Amino acid sequence: MSQDSEPSVCNIFKDNSSKIINKLEMQIPSHFQIYSDMYKEYLHMLDDVFGTCIISEKEFFDKINADENSMKHIKSFSDSMTDFWIKQIENYDNYLKWYYQMRISGMKSYDQFVHIMMNSYSKTLSNFTKSLED
How confident is the model at residue 4, as a pLDDT? 57
C-alpha span between 91 and 98 (Å, rounded) = 10
Both 84 and 115 in one domain: the answer is: yes
Q: pLDDT (tens digit, 9 = 90+) per residue, 6-54? A: 788 888 999 999 999 999 999 999 999 999 999 999 999 988 888 887 7
DSSP 59-82: HHHHHHT--HHHHHHHHHHHHHHH
Both 61 and 74 in one domain: the answer is: no
Both 87 and 132 in one domain: the answer is: yes
C-alpha span between 134 and 130 (Å, rounded) = 7
Helices (H) and strands (E) in the chain, counts: 2, 0
Q: pLDDT (tens digit, 9 = 90+) per residue, 61-100? A: 777 777 888 889 989 999 999 999 999 999 999 999 999 9
C-alpha span between 34 and 47 (Å, rounded) = 20
Both 84 and 103 in one domain: the answer is: yes
Both 56 and 101 in one domain: the answer is: no
**Domain stop point among 12, 46, 65:** 65
**Domain stop point among 43, 65, 87:** 65
At 57, the pLDDT band (50, 70, 90 cuts) reads confident
Q: What is the mean pLDDT of residues 55-59?
A: 76
Q: pLDDT (tens digit, 9 = 90+) per residue, 110-134? A: 999 999 999 999 999 999 888 888 7
**Domain stop point among 20, 42, 65:** 65
Both 88 and 124 in one domain: the answer is: yes
At 105, the pLDDT band (50, 70, 90 cuts) reads very high
Read off the pTM.
0.61
8 Å CB contact between 12 and 1: yes
Domain that holds residue 8: 1-65
DSSP 2-19: -TTSPP-HHHHHHHHHHH
C-alpha span between 41 and 28 (Å, rounded) = 20
Both 49 and 87 in one domain: the answer is: no
